Amino acid sequence: MGGFAFQRKSTHIFDMTANSKAFPKRPFSLRQKEARTAWLLLVPSLVVILGVTLWPVIYTFVLSFFYAPTGIHQVRTFVGLTNYLNMLKDQTFWQTIGRTLYFTLGSVGLELILGLAIAQLIHSRPPGWKFLRVSLIIPWAIPTIVIGAMWRWIYSGDFGALNGLLMQLGLIKHYIPWLTLPNAAMPLVILADVWHMMPFVALILQAALATLPAELDEAAVVDGANAWQVFWKIRFPLLQPAILVALIARTVDAFRVFDIVYIITNGGPAFKTMTITYLTYLNSFSYGKQGTGAALSFLISLFTMIMAFVYIRILYRPEENQ
């Protein structure tokens, strides 16, 4: 889950000029007073946030240079970059990164395509469009773990609905244990995730569509454009900011997926659905190798930060205009 603000330039919170217009000329003492008020208002939040994020991130960074097996009386040995080097040399690590990217691209890609299609559908106001829009909320609101459990049961090789359906349609002769097939497992997990998060994309894009002036469409139709051209040449470019926001929000979240993998396949079969967060969990809490876990955590944060940085740069460049 995640919602991000996407903006038209003039109302964005990064735009300082809008704020200062309200209080154009202020004497220095007033500005000082204002600043003090601002800090007072911010302090509780900042204390909490920095306390639970900045401090742990630094702690993780430091811990990653130690060999730290869990135990009552933990003995930490400084090992320098060994944890990182071991990880980069480990085939499992790279395979896991690959699988995480597979999941991310598959999941986000499908969500975008489906989300866009459904947003368009709603926008064209078919009968019952309100019901459709409200229904979309349901998969999104259901807790991820419940969704994982539900799909795990659907895929079950003993009583699952998928097997039942395929058998009744005559497509299979006996039940197949889907989640044990190494190549089927990840697509099935992706399907579950798409079911869960596609509504988020669809609703954002639909809201964005709703703000597009109707005259544009009409003008295009008058000019003789068919539906496909209307979409591609007119709507799509205007939707780009919204698509970008949804895309980045989903990508950042999909990369660090854990819950749904944990519940549907536990990383199996044969680690085929192992994602990078799951690997970190295993190292930190199952194998008890906190140093390795810390190194992995730090690498993931680094990667996410880079993505975040790219996001901020792309989205909030002052020249970004449409």
Binders of another protein in range 199-258 (CB under 8 A): 199-200, 203-204, 206-208, 210-211, 242, 245, 252, 255-256, 258
Given 88, 113, 219, 305, the residue binding another protein (CB under 8 A): 305
Q: Tokens 């780009």 sit at which residue?
A: 240
53 binds another protein (CB under 8 A): yes
Asked whether the beta carbons of 121 and 209 are under 8 A apart, the reply is no
Beta strands in the chain (DSSP E): 66-67, 77-78
Binding piece for another protein, criterion CB under 8 A, among 103-111, 172-180, 214-222, 231-239: 172-180
Indicate whether 55 belongs to the interface with another protein (CB under 8 A): yes
Give the nearest distance from C-beta 254 to another protein in angstroms: 11
Nearer to another protein, 234 or 258 (CB): 258
| Paired tokens of 96 | 């896991």
Among the listed residues 27, 28, 29, 40, the single contact to another protein using CB under 8 A: 40
316 and 14 Cβ atoms separated by less than 8 Å: yes
Assess contact for 303 and 255: CB atoms under 8 A.
yes
22 touching another protein, by CB under 8 A: yes
Does 94 bind another protein (CB under 8 A)? Our answer is no
Q: Does 187 bind another protein (CB under 8 A)?
A: no
Contact status: 115 vs another protein (CB under 8 A): no
DSSP at 186: H
How many angstroms from the chain centroid is the CA of residue 146?
A: 18
Q: Residue 293 and residue 304: Cα distance in Å, rounded?
A: 16
Minimum Å gap between C-beta 263 and another protein is: 6
Contact predicate 6/242, CB 8 Å: yes
Residue 193 CB, nearest distance to another protein (Å)? 13
Q: Which of 88, 105, 219, 312 binds another protein (CB under 8 A)?
A: 312
Q: Is 85 in the site for another protein (CB under 8 A)?
A: no
Q: Buried b vs exposed e over 129-139: b needs ≥16 C-beta within 10 Å?
A: eeeebeebeeb
